[in-house]
Structure 1
Amino acid sequence: MKKQLFLLVAFSIAFVTTALAQHQRYSIKNGIGIYGGLTQFDIITDNFQTVKGEGWIGGLSATVDLPHKWYTVSYNIQLSENNVGIFARPSNVIANEEEIDYKLFTAQVAFLFHAKVLQDYITVDVGPMIQYNSELELKDDNHENYIIGSYNNLLAKDITGISQFNVNGAVGATAGFKGFKLRAQYIYGFTNMLNKLNNNNDLDTTGGNNKFKGNQSMLAFTAIIVF
C-alpha cells in the first residue's frame, strides 16, 4: 500500500509539472520537502469517551510554485503513528473506568493549495486528503476484555475493526524561509471511520448506542526542509 501511494504522488507531480511547464512565459519553480513532527489525535464520537493522544508524523512534499499566481500547489504524502485513549472498565462488577490506549497507523496523500499571505514566507493551506489507516490496535493486550463505556458487554477488542479507507480535509498555515518552514495543520475526517463496526452483527451493543459514528480529528505540527 505504501508503494502504491508513493507511485501515485510521483505520477501526479510529473503530470502537473509537465502540464504547467508548457507555459514558457512563466517562471515555474519546483521544490521538494522532507518534514517531520508531532501529532495530536482524537476520534470525535458519541459512542465512547475518548482522550486525545500524541504521536509522530513524517512525509514528503512536492511543490509547484507559480510566481504569477496568488497561490502555490503541492502534493504531500505522509505517514503517522497516532494514539488515542478510550475509557473502559475491567468488568461490570468493577464500575470504575480507566483510560485504555489504542494505536493507529495512517498513510495520507494530500493535494494542497497554499494561499500566499506574505509572498512565500507565510501561506494558508487547504485541500483534500485520502487516507489509508490500520485498524485500532490495543497497546496492552491485558485490556482486551475491558468493557467499553456505557455498554454492558462491548469489549475493548471488539471495536478494533474500524474502516480503513477515509477521506479527510486539511487546513493550516505554513511560515518560514526558502529552505526551512514550520507548518501547523488540522485534519478532519469527513467519512465515518467507525462505520465498519456497523456491519459487524456479532457486537453486543446493549446499554449503549447501536449505531457507530466517529470522525477523525488530528493536529500536526511539522518542520520542513525544502530543497
Structure 2
Amino acid sequence: MRNLFFFFILFSCSVFAQRGNKDSNRIGIEGGVTQLNVFTDNLTVTSEVGWMAGLGVRGNYYNNWQMGFGMFFTDSNFSIPTLNGLQQTQTNFKMSAVQIYLVPSYTAIEDHLNIEFGPVLQINGKLGIDKDDENNLLLDQPGLIAKDIVDVSKINANFYVGINGGIKNIRARIGYQYGLTNFFGNLKENENVISSGLNMKGNIGLISGLITIYL
C-alpha cells in the first residue's frame, strides 16, 4: 500500500513538472461521499453512505481529449437484514479499499466540463463489521452468519463513468463504478458457504460525489 502511494506521488510530480505550463494539466486533491451497493441474487442489500479521498492528475492528451490518473482511499458501506437473537436488524458491512484509475476524459467545455470513463483497479481487505454483529444470522441465507461473508475478493476490476464540472481550480465530480468481477468470488472457499451449496455472486455499484481542488 505504501509503495503504491509513493509511486503515485512520483508519477504525479513527473506529469506536473513536464506539462505544468498548461492550465489543463494539474494535480488535484479530492474528497467526498459514496454510496455502495452490491447487485446479487443471494442477499437483500441496502446501500449506505461512506467516504472517498485521494489525489488525481489530469493532463492534455490529444485535441479535446485528456487523461486522468488517480489514487483514492475509501470506506464505503452497505447493509443486509439479519437476526440478532429474535430481533431483526440491519447489519452494516464496511469496504475499505484503495482504488487506482486511469481514465480518458473528453473536454466538452474547456476548463469547465469533462466526460470521463475507464477502468478502475480496486484493492480491498475483508469487509468490516462490528464484533457484536459477527454471529448475526442472515435472513436471506439462514445457513450463514454475518462473518461468513466478510472474506470477499481482494482484487476487483471496476468500470467508471462520470462527469467533472466547475471552474478551473475547483471541480465537482459525480461518477458511477460497476464491478466487472465477482465481489463474492472468494466466498467459494468458506466451509459454511460450501456446505450450504450456495453459488455466491455479486457485482458492486459505487456512486461517488467528490470535490476537487487543483493545486
TM-score by length of 1: 0.85
Q: Is the Cα contact below 8 Å between 2:121 and 2:158 reproduced in 1? A: yes
Structure 1 unaligned spans of 5+? none
Q: Is the Cα contact below 8 Å between 2:16 and 2:26 reproduced in 1? A: no
Is 1:143 matched with 2:133? yes
Instruction: From 169, 184, 205, give the equivalent of 1:217.
Output: 205
Q: Is the Cα contact below 8 Å between 2:148 and 2:190 reproduced in 1? A: no
Within-5 A mapping of 1:1-227? 1=1, 3-10=2-9, 12-13=11-12, 30-66=25-61, 69-91=63-85, 94=86, 97-138=88-129, 140-203=130-193, 206=196, 210-227=198-215
Q: Is the Cα contact below 8 Å between 2:42 and 2:141 reproduced in 1? A: no
TM-fit CA distance, 1:204: 6.0
TM-score by length of 2: 0.90
Tell me the amino acid that sits aligned with residue 113 of structure 1. P
Q: Is the Cα contact below 8 Å between 2:81 and 2:91 reproduced in 1? A: yes
Secondary structure of the equivalent of 2:25?
A: strand
RMSD: 2.3
Considering only CA atoms, is the larger Rg found in Structure 1 or Structure 2?
1
TM-fit CA distance, 1:135: 0.8
Q: How many matched pairs?
A: 214
TM-fit CA distance, 1:149: 2.3
Structure 2 unaligned spans of 5+? none
CA distance in 1, matches of 2:194, 2:58: 48
CA distance in 2, matches of 1:113, 1:7: 23
TM-fit CA distance, 1:221: 0.3
